[in-house]
Structure 1
Amino acid sequence: MKIACVQLRAHDSAFARSALENALEHIDRAASLGAELILLPESLYPSYYLGGADGADAAWRELDPLPLFSGKAREKRVWLAAGLVIEEKGRLFNGAVLWGPDGTEKLRTFKSNLWHFDRKYVSPGTCFPVVETPFGTVGMIVCADGRIPEICRILALKGAKLVLDLTNLTSTGPDVEKLSNPQLEYMLPARAAENGIWIAVADKVGLESESVLNCGGSCIIDPEGRIEASAGSSKEEILLADIDLSLPGPLFPERHPSRYSALALPTEETSAYKKQFEYIAPADDEIFTAICRFFSSSREEYIAAARRFLALAADQGNLLCCLPPAPGKNTLELAEILSASIPEGGRLAVIPGLDPSGRPEAVLFARNMVLGTLNSEALSPLETSAGAIGAVFGDGGWNPEPVRCLMIQGAEIIIWIDGQKRPGNSSLNVARTRAAENRVFVLHLYGNDASIIGPSGAVLASALRNGDQAVSAMIRRAESRAKTVVPGTNIISGRIPEAYGELIASGEEECRGGN
């Protein structure tokens, strides 16, 4: 299948008509290049920001663009997806519509994770349908829907091989040629990799309403999270790529829906929601944290190295120290031995490894004391003086649900012991995504890599790839308790738990409508 991601210039709502004409012209151009599926950006009509020029609101409502796109799909005999503001049952939605080559509407979805001022003008969607096409099963998301894990996972569970992402990705910066966005840098590659799906992105460029700067970067991402083709950040483009949805892609790791009940908890009953209103004095919220990476060939060598690094971390002011995975199958016994090496002063350490049955676990300990054990079966954090700590192991971090459940139940720090080799930077992309989508700190240990990632997704500290090393960063629990990304977008209050039932159900539920 030849797909065209059409990157258009942003515009104010006062110029909705001319922008519509521009979009239709680009459809003609993409079709002339042989595109079988043409993807246009989010809210190309009337505009993204609906609070613009006086009178523009009334003007754009006078025209219904749906027949124009339907007619264009039929005229060019193409599959066509466009982002439009749609009125339905007296409410406005930020919608995405897919038409078939016969001009009939095949799929409609509405943006669910409303971004910034969206909520002032449109209502959220609550249903995530897919459609069968000659190329394979297709789903759609709208822009910030890519920032939360539930939606793409639901689409993948319904069989989607390709997700069309209609976007209005924003950025800041002095150089229009170097604009980007976290979704392009690591979140959407993570979505593709964790679900084993293709993702096609159509974005805008340019400045809208003197305040909304679009970063372009329209792209095609393969099921392993690799960007196969991408556009620039400064000009209109038609990005063409050939993809084959019939080829088998990587399967996402084994899921355990019975453990994911926290996903459906009413928002105001969750620990994450309640912690937003709990005060922490800044002076009590300075958890300098070390993550250690060293290599050993025996239990004795591990104990000696662990003692050395625990002493080093304490001497350098760390209150929490994460050791690398322990050898053998008795991590609890090692924790008890090493607890005598923890200096006084409220310091904590965590040692990941295996329990006697060979199951992964992480043991938290203080001086002469084991505080508790974390494992993959109980997705609840352990409250400590350093914060609420949770852990995931191996593929448990590649599935988005376990970390999501830990966050909902109040986890502020997630330790991920990631053991499987993945292509390129996909493991780090997923780790950064887990941090950003949940606004938590992530301590990521992966082979030779060791990183501390902040709630924004930024890498705060990372070790060299060779040799023994400890790296440290400041963890402030208030940062992970603050779940508002921008005004109007809160990653806990903005969730719609009743829409995510398919993630904990044993079978699929029908969901064919747009809302």
Structure 2
Amino acid sequence: MSKIKIALCQMNVVDNKQKNILKATSMIDEAASYNANFVVLPEMFNCPYSNDKFTEYAEEEKTSPTIKSISKLAKKHEMYILAGSIPEKEESKIYNTSYMFDKNGRIIGKHRKMHLFDVDVKGGIYFKESDTLTPGNKFNVCECDFGTVGLGICYDVRFPQLAQINVEKGAQILVYPGAFNMTTGPAHWELLFRSRALDNQVFCIGVAPALNENASYHSYGHSILVNPWGEVICQLKQKEELKIVEIDLNEIKKVRQEIPILKNKRNDLYEIIEK
């Protein structure tokens, strides 16, 4: 299988976990009606993006109603689903965690956000995830029947080393559920996704929550899919929307033959390693 239908679910996240799960369910059901192979949900899709809400909404993996719901949907529709991210609790720690489900509803990948969003932009945005969250420390690549997917979350996209290691592990698609804001989004969102796709000659995907002006944190939206040539082949606006995009993984081979970046790397002089 070289052609894949990917569903970008730019959903409106509200301060009600059950409503968020029902909205995600509705979008996944609709994506299935278009025969999507792979569905991607946003960062913190079941929870408002706020430190106090991360604590309130946190779920343990074994008893998580969110994970249980998405698992059932993956099995029902026989599709791969990346459950954006949720606040995951383990003992006294809370992580920002993505879960990848296969067509049988099994978890085949789990990525805890490595790089926490601690920023202070004068006149723009102040946020410190580390006040609540703990960073992850593992690289995560998922083998799917259509290809290999490398996982990251939002701020992780700013660190090219993560993308490089995932691609060295075989990733053909890099996915970053994210929630850039109205300061960083217009400045860097598209630029970063184009850069990671171009650096590594892979497809790069970012799926964000829709802009909710009633929330304390305003997501930029603009869910995006970039091809290995660095071209934006799909970018949404700010409102809630489901978009189905078909990609052809054969484009990766074509681009790498035309401009053999990975082949021409000077591994005799430098390398990126996983500790």
* Structure-1-length-normalised TM-score: 0.46
- Structure 2: distance between partners of 1:504 and 1:16: 39
Report if aligned partners of 1:230, 1:239 keep a CA contact under 8 Å in 2. no
- 1:137-178 per-residue CA deviation (whole Å, 9 max, x = no partner) reads 111110010011111111111110001111112114xxxxxx
Which residue is 2:261 aligned to?
252
In the other structure, the counterpart of 1:49 is 50
TM-superposition CA deviations, 1:73-108 (whole Å, max 9, x none): 001111000111112354211011110111111111
Structure 1 pair 226–66 and aligned structure 2 pair: CA distance change class (3 A): same
- The corresponding residue for 1:70 is 71
User: Which position in structure 2 is the counterpart of 1:23?
Assistant: 24
2:11 aligns with: 8
Deviations 1:273-296 (A, max 9, x none): xxxxxxxxxxxxxxxxxxxxxxxx
Paired position in structure 1 for 2:247: 243
1:110 to 95, 109, 112: 112
Displacement, 1:121? 1.3
RMSD (Å) for aligned C-alpha atoms: 2.3
Q: CA deviation at 1:45?
A: 2.1
The alpha carbon displacement at 1:230 in A equals: 1.4
Alignment-derived partner of residue 141 in structure 2: 130
- Cα distance in 2, alignment partners of residues 95 and 252 from structure 1: 32
* 1:196 shift after superposition: 0.7
The 1:97/1:208 distance shift into structure 2, 3 A limit, reads farther
The aligned counterpart of 1:351 is none
CA distance in 2, matches of 1:144, 1:25: 28
Among 150, 167, 173, the alignment partner of 2:178 is 167
Deviations 1:3-33 (A, max 9, x none): 0011011334xx2221121111111111112
Kindly provide the amino acid, as one letter, of the partner of residue 95 in structure 1. Answer: T
Larger Rg: 1
- 2-side partners of 1:29 and 1:139: how far apart? 25
Number of residue equivalences: 253
Aligned position for 2:87: 85
* Structure 2 CA distance for aligned equivalents of residues 208 and 49 of structure 1: 14
CA distance in 2, matches of 1:91, 1:208: 30
Residue 125 (structure 2) aligns with: none
Q: CA distance change for structure 1 residues 182 and 127 in 2, over 3 Å: closer, same or farther?
A: farther
Give the drift of 1:184.
2.5
The C-alpha deviation readout for 1:409-443, integer Å capped at 9, x for no partner, is xxxxxxxxxxxxxxxxxxxxxxxxxxxxxxxxxxx
3-state SS of paired residue (1:69): helix
Kindly state the Cα deviation for residue 210 of structure 1 after the two structures are TM-superposed: 4.3
Cα distance in 2 for partners of 1:503, 1:66 equals 33
Cα distance in 2 for partners of 1:213, 1:58 equals 19
Give the TM-score, by structure 2 length.
0.84
Measured against aligned partners, the alpha-carbon deviations of 1:29-65 in whole angstroms (never above 9, x if no partner) come to 111122110000011123321314xxx9456648531
**Cα 1:223/1:199, change in 2 over 3 Å:** same
CA gap of 1:257–1:209, structure 2 versus 1, over 3 A, is farther
Q: Give the percent of matched residue pairs that are identical in Structure 1 and Structure 2.
A: 25
After superposition, the C-alpha distances for 1:440-499 in whole angstroms (9 at most, x for unaligned) are: xxxxxxxxxxxxxxxxxxxxxxxxxxxxxxxxxxxxxxxxxxxxxxxxxxxxxxxxxxxx
Partner secondary structure for residue 169 of structure 1: coil
Q: 1:503 aligns with which of 257, 272, 275?
A: 272
Q: Residues 360-399 of structure 1: matches in 2 within 5 Å?
A: none
Question: Who is 1:426 aligned against?
Answer: none
> How many Å separate the matches in 1 of 2:57 and 2:147?
39
**How far off is 1:182 after superposition?**
3.4
Change in CA separation of 1:210 and 1:103 when aligned onto 2, cut-off 3 Å: closer
8 A Cα contact 1:10 1:214, kept in partner: no
The 1:63/1:104 distance shift into structure 2, 3 A limit, reads: closer
Task: Give me the whole-angstrom Cα distance separating, in 2, the residues matched to 1:148 and 1:9.
Answer: 27
Structure 2 residue aligned with 1:332: none
Pair 1:63–1:70, CA change in 2 (3 A): closer
Select between 103-112 and 80-89 the one with higher mean Cα deviation.
Answer: 80-89
Task: Report the secondary structure of 2:22's partner residue.
Answer: helix
Q: Is the 8 A contact 2:173 2:204 kept in 1?
A: yes
Q: 1:115 to 1:60 in 2, by over 3 A?
A: closer
Aligned residue identity for 1:168: A
Secondary structure, counterpart of 2:23 in structure 1: helix
- 1:154 alignment partner, one of 165, 178, 190: 165
- Mark the runs of 5 or more structure 1 residues left unpaired by the alignment: 173-178, 261-501, 510-515
Residue 227 (structure 2) pairs with residue 222 (structure 1) = yes
For 1:26 and 1:57, locate their aligned partners in 2 and report how far apart those are by CA, in whole Å: 26
Which of 208, 211, 215 pairs up with 1:206? 211
Letter in 2 for 1:20: I
Report the 3-state secondary structure (helix = DSSP H, G, I; strand = E; otherwise coil) of the residue aligned with 1:18: helix
Q: Which runs of 5+ in 2 are unaligned?
A: 119-127
The answer (yes or no) to whether the contact 2:58–2:89 under 8 Å persists in 1 is: no
